[in-house]
Structure 1
Amino acid sequence: MGGADAGCVTTSVAELARNLWQHAGGGTITLHLGATPDDPWIEVQAEDTGPGIADVAQAMQDGYSTIGSLGSGLPGVRRLMDEFRIESEPRVGTRIIARKWAKRRK
């Protein structure tokens, strides 16, 4: 994984940690490493037992915020990572999974 890809992962972890703190009062971030035969990857999972996200589609819109911020966090993580998904249930919690594939150089 090159420096630019590592920077994308680092920025994504920081943003997801900030979201856990600001929106759920805490949670966990877990990193998983894996690979296909041709390409390794790193996966970031952020999980909480907070209030959940009532409208995931709205939360993924640039500029949308429930706390008066810029509203660029989750959409930014989606752009920085190669794969991104949100599993959320109101009053139960949220899990965000984001994966970055290491682009092998030939």
Structure 2
Amino acid sequence: MSGDSTEQAGLPAGPTVLTVRSEQDLLAIRHAVRDATLTVGFSIVDQTRVVTAASELARNAYIHGGGGTIRIEYPTRPGAVGLRLTVGDAGPGIADVDAALTDGYTTGTGLGHGLGGAQRLMDEFEIRTREGGGTTVTVTRWADR
């Protein structure tokens, strides 16, 4: 399987894009991501990891970025299928990414575990941010097939 052969793997051919602008959207995102984990065939433990990471990232976009989007995709590679989530917002960006990834660091009222926790829960983690230009976080979890 190549990176674009999702139809061969029995997966949705295109991405799903959801917006996060309210608490209700956060709940809808959790449900959509859980459904996506079932499509991929993740174990219950990996389902929980992915849904937790998605929830933390979407909540960050909602609280710190004023809302945003989450894109759900199904990348493939030889012998494996994955779930890739890209969460983006147009907020103020993150001034110090290293600090933001440190447990306990927060610019709000939360515990400061969201961004670093999402990084630990997923196999791949990429963050792009620019002060005043928003933040995009892309995470991927792989499942053997």
TM-score tier after normalising by the smaller chain length: over 0.9
Q: Is 1:59 paired with 2:100?
A: yes
Deviations along 1:21-54, one digit per CA (max 9) or x if unpaired, are 1101100001110110111110010001110001
Counterpart among 11, 16, 19 of residue 60 in structure 2: 19
Match of 1:69 in 2: 110
Normalised by the length of structure 1, the TM-score is 0.93
- Overall identity of the aligned pairs, in %: 43
Aligned residues: 104
Supply the AA of the counterpart residue of 2:63.
Q
Q: Which has the larger radius of gyration?
A: 2
Q: 1:46-104 deviations in whole A, cap 9, x for unaligned? A: 00111000110110001000013210001110111011111000001110000000134
In structure 2, the gaps of 5 or more residues are 1-41
Instruction: For 2:75 and 2:43, locate their aligned partners in 1 and report how far apart those are by CA, in whole Å.
Output: 16
The runs of 4+ residues in structure 1 deviating greater than 3 Å are none
What RMSD, in angstroms, separates the aligned Cα atoms of the two structures?
A: 0.9
Quote the Cα distance in structure 2 between the aligned partners of 1:79 and 1:103.
Answer: 19
- In the alignment, what sits opposite 1:98? 139
Q: Distance in 1 between matches of 2:110 and 2:54?
A: 18
* TM-score of the superposed pair, with normalisation by structure 2: 0.69
Write the mapping of 1:15-54 to structure 2, written as runs, cut at 5 A: 15-54=56-95
- Distance in 2 (CA, whole Å) between partners of 1:41 and 1:81 is 11
Letter in 1 for 2:74: L
Specify the SS of the correspondent of 2:126: strand
